[in-house]
Structure 1
């Protein structure tokens, strides 16, 4: 056997070995075998994720986990995953999939793999009725807050670096949405950013009657499902799952249940499909 042939054979064997290892390592196979799907979900971010009066997980993201598990012939296991722990929980294999309204960003995609968006949060400025804030630009000299690691925090920090800090604005990060709501209610901060659908559900609950939405923020916060970065098989399947949720009308059904009768936000940006 000549040297060139040996090299070609060795390359072919290595390629097949890598492909086989990648396939064997897919969470998809493990889920189908174990009949258990572990979903990382934030349960402090209603209506995407919360606990019902019986302390059971509920919400838009919880329902998506249950739908995915059903499609896989598996039982859903909801793993409560706070915002700062979402990516680490997936990387460390404590969960199989992250369904937690996570914004896909280039930086995060260095660590995990994202599907196309399954949710779209149009962000609103939410404040108390007594602050005098009437639009997003009014925040440049106010006390603002958000959830640590969330996309609104990134926007606010960019605004502070670009001039808001010199105008007197300050930012405080909180561990959860619930903590940021309480801080706003108590006057520790003047405003936060909340998805339009979330604010609708919050206002319907009557829990914070002093809150009011006063304008749209320059931020459209898409949320994608995430799997481990090298798991192409599971990523392909999850992308198809989202497609089926959309074309079957299931997304519209789940959205209406948790976010109300408002318009269904598109899953595209300026007519660009992900």
Structure 2
């Protein structure tokens, strides 16, 4: 009987170790042993992630991920994702972390863990100057463009009652739709509006309302306390020495909130 119980225990442990996120392995130790941090980054979400003139990864989250990898003493491996598949890639162990302007929300906290915030992002309603929008009631009956599976999508769905929500699979496609005039109203971030206006100079968008301000952070699988502690150490060190603020200001033209820099 005792031997049978031992065998059962061994089978259970083997099954658990095969399930991503439940395994007993230490993610931080794995990263150090591998010598590489696999960071899921959305490269279709300027200015957080994008390709530069030489088609190399660029953006504030790309540079932040490089800082984090250097802090951990490993190389950075970018795992390219889109807004909807950021968390699935993490949960299926295709990436060690998500660093893709991932806002901290109660729904996400049910399935993944977050490090301390290293940036903030607004959710705004934006439209051309000629479009009069001063309240949510003004959105009734209008087409509103946003990115599928994002916090912008959630706020559009819950706040813009009576509007038709047009969802695009990533920020790059959203930007293209707004530049072409396929859509003229968006619920997204100021950074997305700026990317649109760089190519829509004749009829630029402007902020009509701020719906919400969200802090964003590195996402990681639950139970990875060692990795979380190491990431938090990096966040606070590079907020204090100004490196994260310099990156944020470089791409967003504004400083991080003062209370984050204390």
Among 154, 159, 173, the residue aligned to 1:179: 173
For the Cα contact (< 8 Å) 2:125–2:188, is it kept in 1? yes
**CA deviation digits over 1:119-167, x for unaligned, max 9?**
101233222344x23435332332101101111111111124xxx32xx
For structure 2, list consecutive stretches of 5 or more residues without a partner in the other structure: 1-21
- Give, in whole Å, the separation in 2 of the partners of 1:142 and 1:154: 17
2:256 to 249, 264, 269: 264
Let me know the Cα RMSD of the aligned residues: 2.2
Query: What residue in structure 2 maps to residue 222 of structure 1?
Result: 215
Equivalent positions of 1:133-152 (< 5 A) are 133-137=132-136, 138-152=138-152
Structure 2 CA distance for aligned equivalents of residues 58 and 184 of structure 1: 22
Aligned residue pair count: 238
TM-score (norm 1): 0.80
Change over 3 Å in CA distance of 1:198–1:185 after alignment to 2: closer
Inter-partner Cα distance in structure 1 for 2:149 and 2:65: 22
Partner of 1:5: none
CA distance in 1, matches of 2:123, 2:214: 7
d(CA) in 1 for partners of 2:97, 2:35: 14
Higher share of residues assigned helix:
1
TM-score (structure 2 length as normaliser): 0.83
Task: State the match for 1:246 in structure 2.
Answer: 239
Inter-partner Cα distance in structure 1 for 2:258 and 2:23? 33
Residues 109, 229 of structure 1: 8 Å contact kept: no
Higher gyration radius (CA)? 1
Q: For 1:96 and 1:29, how far apart are their aligned partners in 2? A: 11
